[in-house]
Amino acid sequence: MALFDPERERIVIRVVYDGPGHAGKTTNLARLCRAFAAWRRSDMVSPNTLGERTQYFDWLEVEGGLLASYPIRAQLLTVPGQRELTVRRRFVIEHADVVVFVADSRPEALAESKAFYAELCEQLAGFPEPVPIVVQANKQDLPGAMKPPAFAKALSQGTRAPDQVVGSVASTDKGVKQTLTVALKLGSDQLRKRLGGQKVHALAGVVGDAAGTYAALEHHEAELARARLGERLEPPRPQPSLPSTHIWPPVTGRALLGELEQVELRRQATSDDEVLLASPSWRLSTGRDRCYDGDDAGLLAMWQLTRRKVALAGWLPEPSVVALQPDPAGTGMWLWTLEPALPRLAAELSPSAAPERRRAALNHYAEILTGALALAETRNLIVDLEPSSYALQADDGDRERVRYVGPTLAAGHALEGVVARVFATLEQHAGDAVAQADFIETLLLGLRRVPLDWDRRVALQNEFLAAASRDAGAERVRDAVVVTLSKPARE
Ligand SMILES: Nc1nc2c(ncn2[C@@H]2O[C@H](COP(=O)(O)OP(=O)(O)O)[C@@H](O)[C@H]2O)c(=O)[nH]1
Ligand SMILES: [Mg+2]
């Protein structure tokens, strides 16, 4: 909607250059930018300077004459012409006062132009105020180009006829300024009609700029994505019929997915963004952040996740399966993980657990803290340190093994929070001196073996030193840890 900018005392009219890709929309703006003296226009903001992704829109502001004795500031925007960017195109058109429909006027390009033009008319038909259309029959220099009136007739057959037609060769400036003049004339006439005798101040409002429009468009897309995924996530369960590339490990994974079809899985209460289906023996999970737009993105994420799972080595629950399931509704590719349901370490660590179990769990937790340091250092893998992220599983020899079942598996070398965990654990078990002593012994043993890079060793030492000592016991631990860390790692 055209606006009056009370601060700068000018009228803002937005002209949207619509049309298929390669029609010449960007060329129009680039040419206008050159034609206007710098003080009569803004810089042209092209898509790749508006963030990483290209093809949002081009933006140029130019002076456009007078209306009711106020200067007109024309905001010129192009739409992205690629089919897959329809959402952005619609968004840009939504804010148009006038549309210039740029098209390659050769017969071979007509079918695509007609489809775009019909979409434009359909969208404009839903607007509360009429929006004039100027058809720019571009590329008149090319052999076979249709004459502007004939072209416009063929283009708009069966839909709304344009308000004006201009022939052009945008690449040589021909018709470019004329198109804008015509568009602004139509825009001004429309505005006058809308005002119906009121002063332009009746249209006072906040005028958008390129950055604001870009931000609004990003926001709009995020909202759409959210709506597309629905309020409640209902991702399709992973099927054993998936191709081998979409199941890891392919053979045993497929067999397990097949078995799982016979198992009744119940949906567990989790956050709105996650889905957890569980039986007494299995946990199958995915989430909004594990839904990918296409096969490529999904497979890349799957590859990253499985690589990290492999890096967990002995901490990986047995069996573990990853599967990438496409949604038949076309909402995306869902990355699922399947694991056995295992008792969590957190429960064993709780003060209400039997003392023997609790001490064993504390020993495991000390191993976990140093093991996590080693994972970060040697495998570039950051895990979560919450005791609820760890489970216990009996191995073939019936030995209890620690398994990682936490939510994060990130890349990185700098693991944070170990020191805080050490002191919090000591505090939590302050009433059990035996358990504390065991925990510290295992911790020191682990720290002696962690192959930490020298800088990280010093950083960790400093972190321990800086930790506020709460009592004499904590201070002794701190000193012992610092001494241990000052020696090189032992195998
Ligand atoms: N021959 C010819 N080429 C043109 C004309 N207008 C634009 N082009 C070329 O068509 C191609 C696409 O133009 P562009 O402005 O990027 O199209 P957009 O996708 O609509 O923004 C470019 O190579 C332009 O140089 C024209 O009138 N005649
Ligand atoms: Mg373009």
Per-residue model confidence (pLDDT) at position 51: 46
Residue 13 has pLDDT above 50, yes or no: yes
154, 111 Cβ separation under 8 angstroms: no
47, 54 Cβ separation under 8 angstroms: yes
The alpha carbon of 140 and the centre of ligand 1 are apart by a number of angstroms equal to 11
The alpha carbon of 118 and the centre of ligand 1 are apart by a number of angstroms equal to 22
Give 245's pLDDT tier (boundaries 50, 70, 90): very high
Asked if residue 332 and residue 396 are part of one domain, the reply reads no
> Is the CB–ligand 1 distance for residue 142 below 6 Å?
yes
> Is the CB–ligand 1 distance for residue 250 below 6 Å?
no
Give 377's pLDDT tier (boundaries 50, 70, 90): very high
130, 190 Cβ separation under 8 angstroms: yes
Residue nearest ligand 1's atom 19 by CA: 22
Q: Tell me the ligand closest to 30's alpha carbon.
A: 1
User: Could you give the CA distance from residue 100 to residue 119 in angstroms, rounded to a whole number?
Assistant: 14
Asked if residue 383 and residue 296 are part of one domain, the reply reads no
Q: What's the whole-number mean pLDDT along residues 12-16?
A: 96
Asked if residue 444 and residue 331 are part of one domain, the reply reads no
> Is the CB–ligand 1 distance for residue 26 below 6 Å?
yes
Domain ranges, residue 22: 3-224
* Atom number in ligand 1 closest to CA 168: 27
Asked if residue 351 and residue 336 are part of one domain, the reply reads no
Q: Torsion angle of alpha carbons 116, 122, 124, 130, nearest 10°?
A: 120
Residue 49 has pLDDT above 50, yes or no: no
Asked if residue 110 and residue 81 are part of one domain, the reply reads yes
Q: Tell me the ligand closest to 102's alpha carbon.
A: 1
Per-residue model confidence (pLDDT) at position 52: 40
User: Which of 76-80, 308-312, 389-393, 481-485 shows the lowest per-residue confidence on average (mean pLDDT)?
Assistant: 481-485
The alpha carbon of 53 and the centre of ligand 2 are apart by a number of angstroms equal to 14
Asked if residue 42 and residue 185 are part of one domain, the reply reads yes
Q: What are the angstrom distances between the C-alpha of 389 and each of 242, 312, 317, 319, 344? A: 29, 13, 12, 17, 7
Asked if residue 80 and residue 34 are part of one domain, the reply reads yes
pLDDT tens digit string along 145-160? 999 999 999 999 999 9
Q: Which of 340, 357, 385 is the last residue of a domain?
A: 340
Instruction: For residue 62, give the H/E element and its range.
Output: strand 59-67
DSSP assignments along 71-133, one per residue: EEEEEEEE---SGGGHHHHHHHHHT-SEEEEEEE-SGGGHHHHHHHHHHHHHHHHTSSS---E
Q: Which of 224, 254, 275 is the last residue of a domain?
A: 224
Q: Let me know if residue 234 belongs to a domain.
A: no
Asked if residue 90 and residue 220 are part of one domain, the reply reads yes
Cis (ω within 30 of 0) for the bond into 319? yes
Q: Let me know if residue 231 belongs to a domain.
A: no
Per-residue model confidence (pLDDT) at position 159: 94
Asked if residue 157 and residue 197 are part of one domain, the reply reads yes
Asked if residue 391 and residue 293 are part of one domain, the reply reads no
The alpha carbon of 174 and the centre of ligand 1 are apart by a number of angstroms equal to 13
Whole-number average pLDDT of the chain? 89
Asked if residue 71 and residue 220 are part of one domain, the reply reads yes
Per-residue model confidence (pLDDT) at position 53: 39
Q: Let me know if residue 239 belongs to a domain.
A: no
Written as six digits, the tokens of 396 are 């073939």
At 161 the three-state DSSP class reads coil
Asked if residue 113 and residue 170 are part of one domain, the reply reads yes
- pTM for the structure as a whole: 0.54
Give 54's pLDDT tier (boundaries 50, 70, 90): very low
Give 50's pLDDT tier (boundaries 50, 70, 90): very low
Residue with tokens 């800088």: 455
Q: What's the whole-number mean pLDDT along residues 180-193?
A: 94
Cα-Cα-Cα-Cα dihedral sign, residues 119, 122, 124, 127: negative
Q: Let me know if residue 237 belongs to a domain.
A: no
Give 387's pLDDT tier (boundaries 50, 70, 90): very high
Q: Let me know if residue 257 belongs to a domain.
A: yes
Query: Is the backbone of residue 177 left (phi > 0), alpha (psi -120 to 50) or beta?
Result: alpha
Cβ contacts of residue 231 below 8 Å, gap of 6+? none
The alpha carbon of 55 and the centre of ligand 1 are apart by a number of angstroms equal to 15
The alpha carbon of 22 and the centre of ligand 2 are apart by a number of angstroms equal to 7
Q: How far apart are the first and last CA of the chain?
A: 72
The alpha carbon of 29 and the centre of ligand 1 are apart by a number of angstroms equal to 11
The alpha carbon of 22 and the centre of ligand 1 are apart by a number of angstroms equal to 5
* Overall number of domains in the chain: 3
Among 17, 22, 56, residue to substitute to test ligand 1 (most atoms within 8 Å of Cβ): 22
Query: Is the backbone of residue 19 left (phi > 0), alpha (psi -120 to 50) or beta?
Result: left
Q: Let me know if residue 491 belongs to a domain.
A: no
> Is the CB–ligand 1 distance for residue 24 below 6 Å?
yes
Instruction: For residue 153, give the H/E element and its range.
Output: helix 148-156
35, 232 Cβ separation under 8 angstroms: no
Q: What is the DSSP letter of 353?
A: S
Give 228's pLDDT tier (boundaries 50, 70, 90): low
User: Could you give the CA distance from residue 192 to residue 2 in angstroms, rounded to a whole number?
Assistant: 11
Q: Let me know if residue 236 belongs to a domain.
A: no
The alpha carbon of 215 and the centre of ligand 2 are apart by a number of angstroms equal to 19
Among 17, 26, 27, residue to substitute to test ligand 1 (most atoms within 8 Å of Cβ): 27
Number of CB atoms found within 10 A of residue 325's CB: 21
Q: Let me know if residue 480 belongs to a domain.
A: yes
Total residues belonging to the chain: 491
> Is the CB–ligand 1 distance for residue 27 below 6 Å?
yes
* Atom number in ligand 1 closest to CA 169: 27
Q: What's the whole-number mean pLDDT along residues 398-409?
A: 90
> Is the CB–ligand 1 distance for residue 229 below 6 Å?
no
Per-residue model confidence (pLDDT) at position 55: 66
CATH number at residue 198: 3.40.50.300
Q: Which of 317, 340, 363 is the last residue of a domain?
A: 340
At 258 the three-state DSSP class reads helix
The β-bridge partners of 417 are none
Residue nearest ligand 1's atom 28 by CA: 139
Per-residue model confidence (pLDDT) at position 468: 62
